[in-house]
A and B are shown apart, each in its own frame.
Chain A
Amino acid sequence: MIANHVGVKKMMTDGHYRNSLTSIVKNCVIIIDTCSILEPGCGTFLQDMLPILKAENKSIIVPTACMSEVQKHQQNPNFNGTVNLNKVIQSLITLNNLHLIDFIGKQTDLTDNTATYADNVMLKEVPTVAITRNVLFITQDKILNLKLLLATRGFQPQFIAASIDNNSGQIAKRNIGELWEKILRDEKRISNSINSITNAEQHKLNEINSLKRDATLKKLMKQFPSIRSVNKRKSSKTSVRSVPSNEKFNISTKLSSVSGVMPVSYLPGEDDSVTATRGNNKENIKLIKHIATGGEGSVFATDKKGIVAKIYKRERITRNRFEKLKLMISKDIDCEGICFPISLICNSQNEFVGFTMSEAKGKTLQTCVFMPMLLQKEFPNWTKKDTVQLSITILEKIKYLHDRNVILGDINPQNILVVSPKEVYFVDTDSYQVEGFPCPVGTLTFTAPECQRKDYATFLRTKGNENFAIATLLFMVMLPGKAPYAMQGSENMIDSIISMDFAYPLGEQKNGLVPAGKWRFIWSHMSYSLKQVFYLTFSKESVTDENNNLIPSHNTEETRYSVDKWLDLFMRYHYELDGLGRGDPMSLSLFPTRFKKGRHQTIEKCAICGKEFIRNYDQDFTTCFDCSQEQYKLKREEQYRKERQRKDIVYRNITCAVCGKKFTFTNGEKEFYDDKGLDYPKRCKNCRQKGGKQQNSGSCYIATAVYGSYDCPEVLVLRRFRDECLRKTTCGKIFVYVYYALSPKFVKAFGDTRWFNGIFKYVLDKLVSILC
Chain B
Amino acid sequence: MYEEENLIEFDELVDNPTTRVPVCLCLDTSGSMDGDPIDELNKGVSMFYSAIRDDDIAKYAADICIATFGSGGARLDQDFAGVEDLQAPYFSAGGMTPMGEAVNIALDALERRKEEFKNSGVDYFQPWLVLMTDGEPNGNALELERAIQRTAEAVKNKKLTVFPIGIGSDADLNVLKKFSPGRTPLKLKGLNFKQFFEWLSQSVSRTSQSSPGETIKLDLDGIKGWGELY
Contacts and interface: CB of A to CB of B under 8 A. Distances in A.
B123 A486 contact: yes
A141 to B, nearest CB: 37
B92 interface: no
Interface residues of B, number: 27
Interface in B176-230: 209, 211-214
B118 A611 contact: no
A517 interface: yes
A170 B2 CA distance: 24
Interface stretch (B7-15, B32-40, B45-53): B7-15
B11 A445 contact: no
Interface string A328-340: 0000000000000
B176 to A, nearest CB: 28
Nearest to B7: A376
Contacts of B56: 367, 371, 374
A37 interface: no
A589 B3 CA distance: 8
Interface in A674-727: none
A591 B10 CA distance: 12
Contact of A516 (B2, B7, B120, B213): B120
A154 B120 CA distance: 64
B80 interface: no
A176 B48 CA distance: 67
A518 B2 CA distance: 12
Contacts of B120: 487, 516-517
B191 to A, nearest CB: 31
Contacts of B14: 516-519
Contacts, number: 88
B60 interface: yes
B18 interface: yes
A278 interface: no
Nearest to A481: B17
A373 B60 contact: yes
B16 interface: yes
Contacts of A374: 56, 60
B212 A445 contact: yes
A593 B1 CA distance: 11
A516 B11 CA distance: 10
B17 A486 contact: yes
B122 interface: yes
A493 B16 contact: no
Interface in A361-409: 366-367, 370-374, 376, 380
A591 B2 contact: yes
Contact of A591 (B6, B11, B60, B119): B6
Contacts of B6: 518, 591, 593
Contact of A493 (B117, B118, B119, B213): B213
Interface string A409-445: 0001010000000000000000000000000000111
B117 A487 contact: yes
B17 A515 contact: no
B76 interface: no
A7 interface: no
B85 interface: no
A489 interface: yes
Contacts of A516: 11, 14, 119-121
A586 B1 CA distance: 10
A264 interface: no
Nearest to B126: A492
Nearest to A375: B3
B15 A372 contact: yes
Nearest to B122: A487
Contact of B18 (A481, A589, A590): A481
A755 B16 CA distance: 82
A487 B118 contact: yes
Contacts of B121: 482, 486-488, 503, 515-516, 519
B105 interface: no
Contacts of A269: none
Contacts of A533: none
B54 to A, nearest CB: 14
Given A367-B56, A481-B17, A487-B118, A589 B214 contact: no
A515 B13 CA distance: 12
Interface in A473-496: 480-483, 486-489, 492-494
B109 interface: no
Nearest to A446: B211
A372 B119 CA distance: 20
B154 to A, nearest CB: 13
Nearest to B124: A487
Nearest to A410: B211
Given A444-B213, A517-B15, A380 B123 contact: no
A371 B3 contact: no
Contacts of A517: 11, 14-15, 120
A371 B18 contact: yes
A487 B123 contact: yes
A516 B212 CA distance: 21
B17 A589 contact: no
Contacts of B122: 486-487
B175 interface: no
B17 A482 contact: yes
Given A370-B18, A444-B214, A516-B11, 18 more contacts: A370-B17, A371-B56, A372-B15, A376-B3, A380-B3, A482-B17, A482-B121, A487-B118, A487-B120, A488-B121, A492-B212, A515-B121, A516-B119, A518-B15, A519-B121, A586-B2, A590-B3, A591-B2
13 contacts: A370-B18, A371-B17, A372-B15, A373-B60, A374-B60, A380-B3, A412-B211, A443-B211, A444-B214, A517-B11, A589-B1, A591-B3, A593-B6
Interface of B: 1-3, 5-7, 11, 14-18, 56-57, 60, 117-123, 209, 211-214
Closest 9 CB pairs of A and B: A444-B213, A517-B14, A481-B17, A589-B2, A443-B211, A516-B14, A482-B17, A486-B121, A487-B121
